[in-house]
Structure 1
């Protein structure tokens, strides 16, 4: 994979499809960082599809009160319940700070959408024992694996 911002090749070892299916089969709640209230945005469409598939979506967007009929939270730490997957729709340069917040949450899976990649974050979270999936669309993976 090629990081357009840094102009370098990045090697990530995402879980294989069997492991990704297991992640999706076992998850119930997905916190979505950067979920837009605009139905024309990819984050909204993907999250709506996952909600329609039976997942509880928890928006993380400090500028919205609610999205997709769910209360929106300003940060991951504000979420008062457990989360199975943190799905990130922010640019790659925000991943180090998001990873710091993620480490305080105690969620088992850190997932970033297409073109959202940071090799150092991937390695740090993987080495800490978390499942990390980067540069993959959760909606596409769900559709392929259901």
Structure 2
């Protein structure tokens, strides 16, 4: 996806669901989510291990099916091997963009989403890309 399109989607987005959100501040699934929340996005955490707890001012839900709000971006922190298990829920949710975090790729999952008209960004960190697109390059 081109930078201009990516920037447009990030500017228009209001709500980001985080599949695999974590409460441990040292884990990327926490600090990336926290960064997004600090940027003004509503972050909806999804993780059955922490269901019922609160993260980023929202109650953690156990599955995507439990989300009550429309989702602009689905940020995924799940192993590639688990993605196909989530496909029916992701398709039912119909987010405007699915973002697979750094190290996460699954050609079959990505193809199914694209065929459903859902754009995908794979193997890239949403926090890093957001900083790059909105803050510019960092000095060396």
Fold in common (TM above 0.5): yes
Q: 1:49: which partner in 2? A: 35
- Classify the secondary structure of the residue corresponding to 2:45: strand
Q: 2:115: which partner in 1? A: 127
Compute the displacement of 1:125 (Å).
Answer: 0.8
Q: Could you list the per-position Cα deviations for residues 61-110 of structure 1 after superposition, in whole angstroms to 9, with x for gaps in the alignment?
A: 11212222321011111011111111000100011112221001121211
Consecutive unaligned residues of structure 1, counting only runs of 5 or more, are 1-14
Number of residue pairs the alignment of both structures matches: 132
Q: CA–CA distance in 2 between the matches of 1:63 and 1:119?
A: 27
Q: 1:19: which partner in 2? A: 5
Consecutive unaligned residues of structure 2, counting only runs of 5 or more, are 135-140
Q: CA–CA distance in 2 between the matches of 1:97 and 1:25?
A: 30
Q: CA–CA distance in 2 between the matches of 1:84 and 1:119?
A: 22
Contact conserved, 1:37 with 1:68, CA < 8 A, in 2? no
Q: 1:67: which partner in 2? A: 55
TM-score (normalised: structure 1)? 0.87
Q: 2:138: which partner in 1? A: none
Q: 2:23: which partner in 1? A: 37
TM-score (normalised: structure 2)? 0.90
Which one has a larger percent helix, Structure 1 or Structure 2? 2
1:116 partnered with 2:96:
no
Q: CA RMSD in A?
A: 0.9
Q: Could you list the per-position Cα deviations for residues 2-38 of structure 1 after superposition, in whole angstroms to 9, with x for gaps in the alignment?
A: xxxxxxxxxxxxx111111111011010000111111
